[in-house]
Chains A and B, each alone.
Chain A
Amino acid sequence: MSSRFERAARYPLFTLYRELFARALKDGNLLAPGIAVYTGSGASHSWIWFADLFERLCLYDISFLSETDIFSGALNGKDAFFIGGGDTLEMACALGGKGARLISNFVANGGFYYGSCAGAYLVLSGVDDGPFKPFNLFPGNMLNVMKNPPPPRCLQHKYTAPYGDRYVFHPVYGEVVIKKREAGKVPLIFQISNGIEAPLFGGPVIDSYVEDHVIALYGIKRTRAAFLWEFQEAARFLEGKPAVCAAPCGSGLVFVSGPHLEHPLYPAASCVIAEALFAHLNVYRSGCFLDDVQFPEIEFFSGWKYSESVFEVAKNLHPWAQQPSTSSRENNLKNVIYSLKRVLSNARIVAYGLEKMPVAWKIGLKVWEPEKIRMLLETAWVRVSSMSRRLIWDSYTERLENITEMYSRITSELKNLLFLIEKGADSDLEVRALIGELKKVTVAFLSLYFEVLKNSFQCGLPLNG
């Protein structure tokens, strides 16, 4: 059985990067990076897509950080930091000047920063109104801002967000094309295709102050997107404008993207992140993998041709992979996992029930629809079976029981939410609390999950996928 997600994970070029990182983890000649993902205030549900990305890339040293964790020095020793979508203002306020300094230091010392959507707005130097001022890692601005945006054709609630005396606006919501630049060096994926799809959910149209920092440009298509402007108007605005950019910053690299390149259904787009991360980290740390790449110049793998032989090499990288033994699984652990499955299933069934309600909540500047609640639940659900095959250590039992208890509370809160909505009562406070709890338990689950993956991989169990 395979889902759209599983099929996406098998995207051939993506498999190559996965194999490269797997080799890094296996033999230690290359760097298997320590990665941090921002899940704190202002982060929407989209950070869960990073979990998919890293799992597919065999990157298992993952920490999910709140602003408090960052203040406590959690970025120390990490190699890469990822911020996805959400409420940029809330993020900037929560992280503040202290957070901005810590992130700047992290990048200056060689770290890799990837920001998509809100994570991109946050670090554009031209976005400097009030709380945004300390965050200026990338020399550029946003183009999708004006005083009086024209009225939208649809999706009014997604259309604008205030920015000083102006409004950030979004003429297209959904799938766009990112196209290679005519000049300059490009990621390997653009040697295969001139344009690849990626989802744009309110991310910036970037005004890069340095032309060479531009990696890919926007294009639009008529399908799989909502046009808040007339198609022709949207095309005139977006076509050919920078969508993905990267710039050296100190010893590090800042990578910003309007579209969510990390979205799990867009593996071709994710290849761009994978390649940038691999090239940056391995040139920076070991300098031995690709002779023709010179940091800080953004070279990627342009000297490496797409050929069958590359894939043959990639396919044969895992002679050690064997089926896991099931005999070592403890009954106790099996029961704990079954209980977790039970509460997760119950929670997602209620969440599906919620999706049939005509309801959405605005938390800060971010609109939360019921399906985002389910997506957070799905993050754990799709991994439970895989985790159960790898759980060979009893020491995880207590943590799993705690997580199960947390999901059980989430189920009760979801039922209460459903009750309130059916009654026509206000549910803003309840949903805010619920989402906070849901983010916490998702972080707890994913942290355990990646720990299990890492340990089981080091014990010789095969990769996921």
Chain B
Amino acid sequence: MDYMYSGDLAIIDLESGEVDFREFTELDDYGPGFSSCLAVFKEYEESDPVVIGSGLFTGTTVPASCLGFVLAKDSDSDRVFTVPLNLYAGVEVKFSGFSAVAIIGNASSPVYVWLHDGVADVLDASNFASSDTWNTTDLIRSEMGDRLVQVISCGPFDNSHQFPKSASINYWGSLDPGHVAASFFRKNLKAVAIRGLGMIDAADPDAFFSSSLEFLKRCKPENGFALWNEQAAKIDEWVMPLVHRYRSCYGCPMACFPFLKYREQPSVLSSEGVEEPGILLTAYHALKLLKEKGFNPKEAMGVLEACLKMGLEAIALSSVIEPDAIKASENIVETVKTIQKENRIAIAPSAMFANWYSGEENSAFWETLNRAAYTLGICPIFLIKSGIDISEFYRLSGLACQTDFDQESVDASINRLI
């Protein structure tokens, strides 16, 4: 594909430490985004691959074109599982100088992968293997000298694998129920850091630009988890007193994620200088459990912050933690660590795509929607809420890459592989 992607497919073998590059021919064979990366995943299936990719429009002027993804093995079934790279991580994947990246094999000691401008480095992570995700992000960003470096990481390497872990995107939660983090642990892979200053080109840039802006004009800006569903709307109301601002992912007029300040006055815009004033909520499901258990919003934030730092799967933790444990605790992180050690929980059964919309894991609607979303690189919530028919987004593909895709052709490609 001559447009919308730049660079080769990188195959990073953690066992040998070697990096190979080859032309990403799967783009032409299977189409952009999810399907071509799924083909790579299948090719390296025996080597427990983690495949990182982006959609056709990721990082462009198309509204909500924030979406990249990580494909990893479902720990139970060995099938592929897909975790979204939202916020700004997907965009950095697109501009990393690679069309896609496959990380195979297991390292003998903790490493992290640094993807930048078409260069893939496997670097030693021994000195921060036991760091939490926040420190890991800070360390890598400081080392690379840029705060825009996107860090997908997992929590401390502590040899306890009885509790689901979850990969983080920088400081915040991904929608990984545990499969990506489990892959990282198997591989001795502490983190993948990505920064790209590359460029992509559309086949007809002017028409692509103006058409994508037309989409934007048709969208109504909205805030909060209420965009997701009614249950989530109730969480919005519950945490409202702590909301400092709403944040969207790259290029999206819909700001789903509330930033909650519980160590500073949320109503004051400027910071009072507290180092860690609150957290960005990127999912509501754990919060719903905590609310039902009788946590107050501040206590719930404390639990979620501990989960984020420790790289623990928040729904799993929320299912076993009780308010009394927090009330009696002087150090929530230590309390959460103890609870994690004392409980054995399996990763929740998963369909192919992480679900954060309806809660119905095997919903056919969600799967079809996600096939489109991960092909186009557009957030599935936006695809639902924008009021623009998905076929209209598909019609942009001709302007983008001189090839017309539609749901039928995308489904056909994916069905060839699963």
Q: Which A residues contact B (CB, under 8 angstroms)? A: 1-3, 338, 341-342, 345-346, 348-350, 352-354, 356, 381, 411, 414-415, 418
Q: Report whether A1 and B145 are in contact in the complex, using a CB–CB cutoff of 8 Å.
A: no
With A and B bound together, what is the CA distance between A134 and B22 in angstroms? 59
Q: Report whether B146 and A352 are in contact in the complex, using a CB–CB cutoff of 8 Å.
A: yes
With A and B bound together, what is the CA distance between A345 and B149 in angstroms? 13
With A and B bound together, what is the CA distance between A68 and B39 in angstroms? 59
Q: Report whether A349 and B118 are in contact in the complex, using a CB–CB cutoff of 8 Å.
A: no
With A and B bound together, what is the CA distance between A338 and B144 in angstroms? 18
Q: Report whether A1 and B199 are in contact in the complex, using a CB–CB cutoff of 8 Å.
A: yes
Q: Report whether B201 and A2 are in contact in the complex, using a CB–CB cutoff of 8 Å.
A: yes
With A345-B119, A346-B116 as contacts: A418 and B145 at CB distance below 8 Å: yes
Pairs A–B under 8 Å by Cβ, sample size 14: A1-B6, A345-B118, A346-B116, A346-B145, A348-B117, A348-B197, A349-B149, A349-B197, A352-B148, A353-B145, A353-B146, A353-B147, A381-B117, A411-B145
- Contact digits for B142-165, partner A, Cβ 8 Å, 1 yes 0 no: 001111110000000000000000
Q: Report whether A352 and B197 are in contact in the complex, using a CB–CB cutoff of 8 Å.
A: yes
User: Which A residues touch B145, using CB under 8 A?
Assistant: 346, 349-350, 353-354, 411, 414-415, 418
Q: Would you give the shortest CB distance from A386 to chain B, in whole angstroms? A: 14
Q: Report whether B119 and A342 are in contact in the complex, using a CB–CB cutoff of 8 Å.
A: yes
Q: Would you give the shortest CB distance from A406 to chain B, in whole angstroms? A: 18
Q: Report whether B195 and A341 are in contact in the complex, using a CB–CB cutoff of 8 Å.
A: no
Indicate the member of B145, B146, B197 with the most A CB atoms within 10 Å: B145
With A and B bound together, what is the CA distance between A345 and B95 in angstroms? 13
User: Which A residues touch B3, using CB under 8 A?
Assistant: 1
CB within 8 Å of A: which of B1-29?
A: 2-3, 6
Q: Report whether A349 and B144 are in contact in the complex, using a CB–CB cutoff of 8 Å.
A: yes
Q: Which B residues contact A (CB, under 8 angstroms)? A: 2-3, 6, 116-119, 121, 144-149, 195, 197, 199-201
Q: Which residue of B lies closest to A417 (CB)?
A: B145
Q: Report whether A345 and B199 are in contact in the complex, using a CB–CB cutoff of 8 Å.
A: no
User: Which B residues touch A345, using CB under 8 A?
Assistant: 116-119, 197
With A345-B119, A352-B146, A356-B147 as contacts: A3 and B197 at CB distance below 8 Å: no
Q: Which residue of B lies closest to A344 (CB)?
A: B117
With A and B bound together, what is the CA distance between A345 and B148 in angstroms? 14
User: Which A residues touch B197, using CB under 8 A?
Assistant: 345, 348-349, 352
Indicate the member of A3, A341, A345, A348 with the most B CB atoms within 10 Å: A345
Q: Report whether B144 and A350 are in contact in the complex, using a CB–CB cutoff of 8 Å.
A: yes
With A and B bound together, what is the CA distance between A3 and B195 in angstroms? 19
Q: Would you give the shortest CB distance from B133 to chain A, in whole angstroms? A: 21
With A and B bound together, what is the CA distance between A3 and B95 in angstroms? 14
Q: Report whether B195 and A349 are in contact in the complex, using a CB–CB cutoff of 8 Å.
A: yes
Contacts beyond the supplied A1-B3, A349-B146, A349-B195: 11 A-B pairs with Cβ under 8 Å? A3-B199, A338-B119, A341-B117, A342-B119, A345-B197, A348-B197, A349-B116, A349-B145, A350-B144, A350-B145, A356-B147
Q: Which residue of A lies closest to B116 (CB)?
A: A345
Contact of B146 among A341, A342, A350 (CB under 8 A): A350
Q: Which residue of B lies closest to A342 (CB)?
A: B119
Q: Which residue of B lies closest to A412 (CB)?
A: B145
With A and B bound together, what is the CA distance between A352 and B117 in angstroms? 13
Q: Would you give the shortest CB distance from B157 to chain A, in whole angstroms? A: 26
Contact of B201 among A1, A342, A354, A411 (CB under 8 A): A1
With A and B bound together, what is the CA distance between A179 and B154 in angstroms? 61
Q: Which residue of B lies closest to A353 (CB)?
A: B146
Q: Which residue of B lies closest to A355 (CB)?
A: B146
User: Which A residues touch B199, using CB under 8 A?
Assistant: 1, 3
Indicate the member of A1, A3, A356, A381 with the most B CB atoms within 10 Å: A1
User: Which A residues touch B119, using CB under 8 A?
Assistant: 338, 341-342, 345
User: Which A residues touch B6, using CB under 8 A?
Assistant: 1
With A and B bound together, what is the CA distance between A381 and B2 in angstroms? 21
With A and B bound together, what is the CA distance between A342 and B115 in angstroms? 10
With A and B bound together, what is the CA distance between A415 and B116 in angstroms? 17
With A and B bound together, what is the CA distance between A305 and B48 in angstroms? 65
With A and B bound together, what is the CA distance between A227 and B2 in angstroms? 41
User: Which B residues touch A341, using CB under 8 A?
Assistant: 117-119
Q: Which residue of A lies closest to B2 (CB)?
A: A1
Q: Would you give the shortest CB distance from B298 to chain A, in whole angstroms? A: 31
User: Which A residues touch B201, using CB under 8 A?
Assistant: 1-2
User: Which A residues touch B144, using CB under 8 A?
Assistant: 346, 349-350, 353
With A and B bound together, what is the CA distance between A244 and B197 in angstroms? 36
Q: Which residue of B lies closest to A374 (CB)?
A: B197
With A and B bound together, what is the CA distance between A381 and B119 in angstroms? 13
Indicate the member of B116, B118, B146, B197 with the most A CB atoms within 10 Å: B146
Q: Would you give the shortest CB distance from A297 to chain B, in whole angstroms? A: 43
With A350-B146, A353-B147 as contacts: A342 and B200 at CB distance below 8 Å: no
User: Which B residues touch A342, using CB under 8 A?
Assistant: 119, 121
Q: Would you give the shortest CB distance from A427 to chain B, in whole angstroms? A: 14
With A and B bound together, what is the CA distance between A381 and B117 in angstroms? 10
Q: Would you give the shortest CB distance from A33 to chain B, in whole angstroms? A: 33
Minimum-distance CB pairs A-B, first 4: A350-B145, A353-B146, A345-B117, A1-B201
User: Which B residues touch A338, using CB under 8 A?
Assistant: 119
User: Which A residues touch B2, using CB under 8 A?
Assistant: 1
Q: Which residue of B lies closest to A422 (CB)?
A: B142
User: Which A residues touch B147, using CB under 8 A?
Assistant: 353, 356
With A and B bound together, what is the CA distance between A2 and B2 in angstroms? 11
Q: Report whether A1 and B146 are in contact in the complex, using a CB–CB cutoff of 8 Å.
A: no
User: Which A residues touch B195, using CB under 8 A?
Assistant: 349
Q: Would you give the shortest CB distance from B208 to chain A, in whole angstroms? A: 14
Q: Would you give the shortest CB distance from A389 to chain B, in whole angstroms? A: 14
With A and B bound together, what is the CA distance between A338 and B195 in angstroms? 17
With A and B bound together, what is the CA distance between A411 and B146 in angstroms? 12
Q: Would you give the shortest CB distance from A370 to chain B, in whole angstroms? A: 12
User: Which A residues touch B117, using CB under 8 A?
Assistant: 341, 345, 348-349, 381
Q: Would you give the shortest CB distance from A376 to chain B, in whole angstroms? A: 15
User: Which B residues touch A411, using CB under 8 A?
Assistant: 145
With A and B bound together, what is the CA distance between A381 and B112 in angstroms? 25
Q: Would you give the shortest CB distance from A324 to chain B, in whole angstroms? A: 17
With A and B bound together, what is the CA distance between A342 and B117 in angstroms? 8
Q: Which residue of B lies closest to A411 (CB)?
A: B145
User: Which B residues touch A352, using CB under 8 A?
Assistant: 146, 148, 197
User: Which B residues touch A3, using CB under 8 A?
Assistant: 199
With A and B bound together, what is the CA distance between A3 and B205 in angstroms? 11
Q: Which residue of A lies closest to B146 (CB)?
A: A353
User: Which B residues touch A348, using CB under 8 A?
Assistant: 117, 197
With A and B bound together, what is the CA distance between A354 and B117 in angstroms? 18
With A and B bound together, what is the CA distance between A414 and B144 in angstroms? 10
Q: Would you give the shortest CB distance from A207 to chain B, in whole angstroms? A: 42
User: Which A residues touch B116, using CB under 8 A?
Assistant: 345-346, 349
User: Which B residues touch A356, using CB under 8 A?
Assistant: 147
User: Which B residues touch A414, using CB under 8 A?
Assistant: 145
Q: Would you give the shortest CB distance from B402 to chain A, in whole angstroms? A: 14
With A and B bound together, what is the CA distance between A411 and B199 in angstroms? 22
Q: Which residue of B lies closest to A418 (CB)?
A: B145
With A and B bound together, what is the CA distance between A356 and B116 in angstroms? 19
User: Which B residues touch A418, using CB under 8 A?
Assistant: 145
Q: Would you give the shortest CB distance from B143 to chain A, in whole angstroms? A: 8
